[in-house]
Amino acid sequence: MVLPDSNLYNLHSHTQFCDGRASMQLMAEAAAEAGMELYGFSPHSPISVESPCNMSRHDVPVYLDEARRITDFYEGRMQVLTGMEIDFLSPDWGPHIDYFQQLPLDYSIGSVHFVPTRDGIPVDCDGRFERFARNLHDVYNDDLRYVVEKYFEQVLTMIERGGFDILGHFDKIAANAAKADSNIEHTGWYNALIEDVINHAASAGLIVEINTKSYNDTQRFFPAIQWWSALLHSGSPIVINSDAHYPDKVNAGRPEALRILEQLRSGSVPSVQI
């Protein structure tokens, strides 16, 4: 895909087609009002397991029609792209499979939200910590390291299989994992996993996302700031996306991330280490 040529964009957003809280029309209106030149829709893809957060396969043609209508509506004012945030579950289900490859999308984001149990059952590890903590105990036998390592293994396999443009929030598991163990991001093994992902993303020629969805609530970006210097050093193109689920969040956290990234690029702040 072609990279945005200004900072007035957002390529990660959700609507009523998945777990977003507004219509595509309202999200696009909010983006236009925020002065965006480029806006991308990225509903959570259909998946092969039951999930209330993902769109149904049945809705995909309806989504594509509505995206086309809105793209035409904003022509000449704001470029609207039809994307999808595609879940990687296993080598049998991810951005690389024929079903997604044949969809007429402008771009896709590859993301991992589900971590398979030792029996191979995908469990949603995104979202509220209370649910994560319950699953950690009930289905992962309190083995946090297993969950984190498996998450990154999924990210690496997704990169290896390819078929998508943007690597979505690649350390998202940290949101919950760091609540379960506040030291986890300081460990050598965790660092090595992050390094692996950054290197593989660069080798695969992927665009890497900095996701600002949680910044205003938790002061955390995905990936976390401490990995940004390595990310810049890797040479991967970077996009900053709000992952908005509400119209008033279309630009949330993006100005802060842009400012910090610019400071790191210009070397005006030392690289951040935790």
Chain contacts with Zn ion (rule: CB under 5 A):
85, 111, 243
Asked whether 109 and 164 are in contact (CB, 8 A), the reply is yes
Q: Closer CB to Zn ion, residue 85 or residue 165?
A: 85
Residue 12's CB is within 10 A of a number of other CB atoms, namely: 24
Q: Which helix (H) or strand (E) holds 39?
A: strand 38-41
For residue 113, the minimal CB distance to Zn ion (Å) is 6
Contact partners, residue 110, CB within 8 Å, separation at least 6: 86, 88, 94, 95, 158, 159, 163, 164, 166, 167, 168
Exposed, middle or buried, 61 (CB in 10 Å: 0-12/13-18/19+)? Answer: exposed
Q: Closer CB to Zn ion, residue 155 or residue 198?
A: 155
Q: In this structure, which amino acid lies at residue 138?
A: D
For residue 271, the minimal CB distance to Zn ion (Å) is 26
Residue 200's CB is within 10 A of a number of other CB atoms, namely: 17
Q: Closer CB to Zn ion, residue 29 or residue 243?
A: 243
For residue 169, the minimal CB distance to Zn ion (Å) is 6
Which phi and psi angles does 159 have, rounded to 5°? -60, -45
Asked whether 42 and 13 are in contact (CB, 8 A), the reply is yes
Q: Closer CB to Zn ion, residue 106 or residue 264?
A: 106
Q: Closer CB to Zn ion, residue 211 or residue 236?
A: 211
For residue 105, the minimal CB distance to Zn ion (Å) is 15
For residue 85, the minimal CB distance to Zn ion (Å) is 5
Strand partners, 40: 81
For residue 199, the minimal CB distance to Zn ion (Å) is 22
Q: Closer CB to Zn ion, residue 41 or residue 227?
A: 41
